[in-house]
Amino acid sequence: MTQHDARTDWRRSFALACWMVGSFGTVAVAQTPIPVTATSQFVFTASTDHSRTSAFGLNLVDRYELEVSTLADVVLATVNLGKPAPEATSNDISVPVGDALLKQLIANTQYHYRAIAVGPGGAGRSLPSVPFGVPGPVGLPAAPTGLRVVP
């Protein structure tokens, strides 16, 4: 093996390792989903730029969006929340789940949401929430297998 081959092999190994960490480094630990109903609330802390303006007087945050996704990050719904006022002491914004969104969720499926602050400079997306879901009837148990008759 030449010195050039060794450097190329090292680079390929390093690139593969980086890809693996980037692809698999964010695998979530299994968590029990929080059951939600139409009266449940999605709660997040307002952006630190919520009340700030640019040097030209533009609001840094124009609105918030709530993005509901499967745990595989397939977006189910994006809801424009406008710019609700945060709670004075905690700076939290609460949004009711509501019947319209609840009807889009499949029972016994896990979801998460992200809060997104949108402004003239782009959008700041939160990390995903803890898993949640709509409780439903328990599915059928797995059928027995390996049936045989022993003489």
pLDDT digits (tens, 9 = 90+) for 41-97: 999 999 999 999 999 999 999 999 999 999 999 999 999 999 999 999 999 999 999
- CA 34, distance to chain mean position in Å, is 14
> Distance from first CA to last CA of the chain, Å, rounded?
63
State the pTM of this model: 0.69
What pLDDT digit, counting tens, does each position of 4-31 carry? 554 455 455 444 444 443 433 344 455 7
With a CB cutoff of 8 Å and minimum separation 6, the contacts of 67 are 75, 77, 78, 79, 113, 114, 116, 125
All structural domains of the chain: 40-132 (2.60.40)
pLDDT value at residue 1: 52
Q: Using CA atoms, how far apart are residues 123 and 66, in angstroms rounded to an integer?
A: 12
